[in-house]
Amino acid sequence: MPASRYDKYVVRKPAIVTADYRDEIPDTDEIPISSPVDTGPRVIFSPDRIQEGNSIIEYGIISGDVTIGDGFITEPHKHDYEEIFLFLGTAPTDTANLGAEVEFWLGEGRERDKVIINTSSSIYVPPGLAHFPQVWRNVVRPVMTIVVMPDARKRVLKPISL
């Protein structure tokens, strides 16, 4: 394949998010998974990869019941940039059907509450709003997740106490 003058704008291999929230590009083509049911976040776009960029975009696949944000990798937290979480069903004949149920926690203290979704959905988290964990139940087929962080040059999490 001939090189393009615009190849600097293409990311062909995702990085993984390590436990200390750094993006790490694996040395091999094999990218490790977090667990048998959760790939963990794959960073497909960030200013670390495309220097002119101001956003971070992660994706992953959930293929079984799991809790994300239970303190193992990501605890309940907040930050000074917005996030948009996308939950995308993968059934070709019914993309609205998520194929799972997700309990997504938002807020803190007396304002803490959960949102339940079971259709392809998005959740907007404004700057400063605490969020997590995500509890995945009744996963019947893989679900694609995408997190878009516009104007987030660095991933900075501020843990909260529950």
Q: Output the CATH code of domain 14-159.
A: 2.60.120.10
Q: Is the dihedral of CA 127, 52, 12, 18 positive or negative?
A: negative
Give the pLDDT of residue 16: 87
User: Strands, E, within 3-130: which ranges?
Assistant: 15-17, 23-24, 42-45, 56-62, 66-68, 77-78, 83-88, 97-106, 113-119, 121-125
- Phi and psi (nearest 5°) for 108? -150, 160
pTM of the model: 0.90
Domain extent listing, the chain: 14-159
Separation between Cα atoms, residue 149 and residue 87, nearest integer Å: 15
Give the pLDDT of residue 154: 80
Give the pLDDT of residue 2: 61
Per-residue pLDDT of the chain (162 residues; tens, 9 = 90+): 568 988 889 998 898 887 777 788 888 888 878 888 999 899 999 998 899 999 999 999 999 999 987 655 567 889 999 999 999 999 999 999 999 999 999 999 999 999 999 999 999 999 999 999 999 999 999 999 999 999 988 877 777 876
Give the pLDDT of residue 88: 98
Type and span of the H or E element at 149: strand 143-149
User: Between the CA of residue 67 and those of 12, 72, 103, 105, 122, what are the distances in Å?
Assistant: 29, 10, 9, 11, 18
Give the pLDDT of residue 93: 97
Structure-token pair, residue 86: 């996308």
Separation between Cα atoms, residue 79 and residue 155, nearest integer Å: 8
Q: Is the dihedral of CA 91, 13, 65, 109 positive or negative?
A: negative
Give the pLDDT of residue 162: 66
